[in-house]
Amino acid sequence: MKSQVTTLGQFIIERQTDFPYAKGELSRLLRDIGIAAKIVNREVNKAGLVDILGEFGTMNVQGEEVKKLDVYANEQFISALSAGGETCAVASEENEGLVHIDSEVSKNAKYIVCVDPLDGSSNIDVNVSIGTIFSIYRRMTFNGQAEEKDYLQLGKEQVAAGYIIYGSSTMLVYTTGKGVNGFTLDPSIGEFCLSHPDMKCPTSGKLYSINEGNYVHFPDGVKQYIKYCQAIDPETERPYSSRYIGSLVADLHRNLLKGGIFIYPSTHKSPKGKLRLLYECNPLSFIIEQAGGKASDGFRRILDIQPNSLHQRTPLFIGSADMVTMAEEFMAKYSPVDAS
């Protein structure tokens, strides 16, 4: 048995020298996210008890209103980031506009955070894994409150990104552009402990993940790629297996560890796809690239897309590099017109 564990806090401090100009702010910001993650984890684990402790919207035994978990998670992350003082503003899936943190300590802070506080929240009631996704940018403007220019940056400008998966165990996975490291929450000591150092996504895999219920609405390139995944070919070990949880962080996490491709394409109903560029696709794309994988909208690298609005959507093809490249080839051949 290993006698020593490295906690997230220790790891962040050890890696602080990776950012000679950051003066510890980024480390503190990551630590704040770790704290919020533990609080959200505690509530997610209690979700099954709502029938006993009170339905959402009702009063619990302490006389407090029971909040929906995604609203609760949003409040926790914003409050941890506000208290930390390193973040001047937060762009969240739960808020229409940018949330400015105007306190004395935060208003001149150097970082801006984009977050999906609880992704896949429709899965909570059925005990399926859900996640938090976050992305950190350096602030560009310093004329009072943060501006559009600060959060509408290219994904490749991210200084850090990560996700937390609330699953059979809870993990925090993050990158600061120097590889990807994963930490598992040890509930007995209440610490995230380094469990997956230097994570790498296999270059190819045997899993494809897509909501096939939407098949008729997919572009031809995606339909043909699905046929390719299902065809018999012993050399490439096809047919591949289909695995789709419908919870982005969980689907991505599995494919990152085992190799595979996740696709949420454009559909007739949603020509821009469903997933959001700023706080879903960009952070996961940064992580997958840092792990040796690839992320695309079917035609171009996600991290090169110029965002033009906070809640912008994009199609997403993400996972093992060779599989994403192959899917792009199908798109170029059968759906050459980029609908996005």
List of residues contacting ligand AHM (CB under 6 A): 93, 119-121, 211, 246-248, 264, 274
Neighbours of 34 (CB within 10 A): 22
The distance of closest approach from Cβ of residue 302 to Mg ion in the complex, given in angstroms and rounded to an integer, is: 16
Using CA atoms, how far apart are residues 257 and 260, in angstroms rounded to an integer?
9
The count of residues interacting with Mg ion (CB under 5 A) is: 2
Question: Are 260 and 289 spatial neighbours (Cβ–Cβ below 8 Å)?
Answer: no
Nearest to Mg ion of 22, 136 (CB atom): 136
The distance of closest approach from Cβ of residue 93 to ligand AHM in the complex, given in angstroms and rounded to an integer, is: 6
Using CA atoms, how far apart are residues 35 and 26, in angstroms rounded to an integer?
14
* Subset of 78-137 contacting Mg ion (CB under 5 A): 116, 119
Using CA atoms, how far apart are residues 91 and 95, in angstroms rounded to an integer?
7
The distance of closest approach from Cβ of residue 325 to Mg ion in the complex, given in angstroms and rounded to an integer, is: 26
Counting contacts by CB under 5 A, is residue 289 touching Mg ion? Answer: no
145: helix, coil or strand? coil
Q: Which does 314 bind (CB under 5 to 8 A by kind): ligand AHM, Mg ion, none?
A: none
Question: Are 314 and 299 spatial neighbours (Cβ–Cβ below 8 Å)?
Answer: no
Q: Which does 328 bind (CB under 5 to 8 A by kind): ligand AHM, Mg ion, none?
A: none
> Which ranges constitute the DSSP H helices of the chain?
8-14, 25-45, 50-53, 69-84, 148-151, 220-230, 248-258, 282-290, 321-334
Nearest to ligand AHM of 251, 289 (CB atom): 251
The distance of closest approach from Cβ of residue 246 to ligand AHM in the complex, given in angstroms and rounded to an integer, is: 5
Q: Which does 32 bind (CB under 5 to 8 A by kind): ligand AHM, Mg ion, none?
A: none
- DSSP labels, 276-295: BIIIIIHHHHHHHHHTT-EE
- In 101-142, beta strands by DSSP E: 111-119, 130-138
The distance of closest approach from Cβ of residue 248 to Mg ion in the complex, given in angstroms and rounded to an integer, is: 7
Nearest to Mg ion of 119, 251 (CB atom): 119
The distance of closest approach from Cβ of residue 93 to Mg ion in the complex, given in angstroms and rounded to an integer, is: 5
Nearest to ligand AHM of 139, 254 (CB atom): 254
Which stretches of the chain bind Mg ion, using CB under 5 A?
116, 119
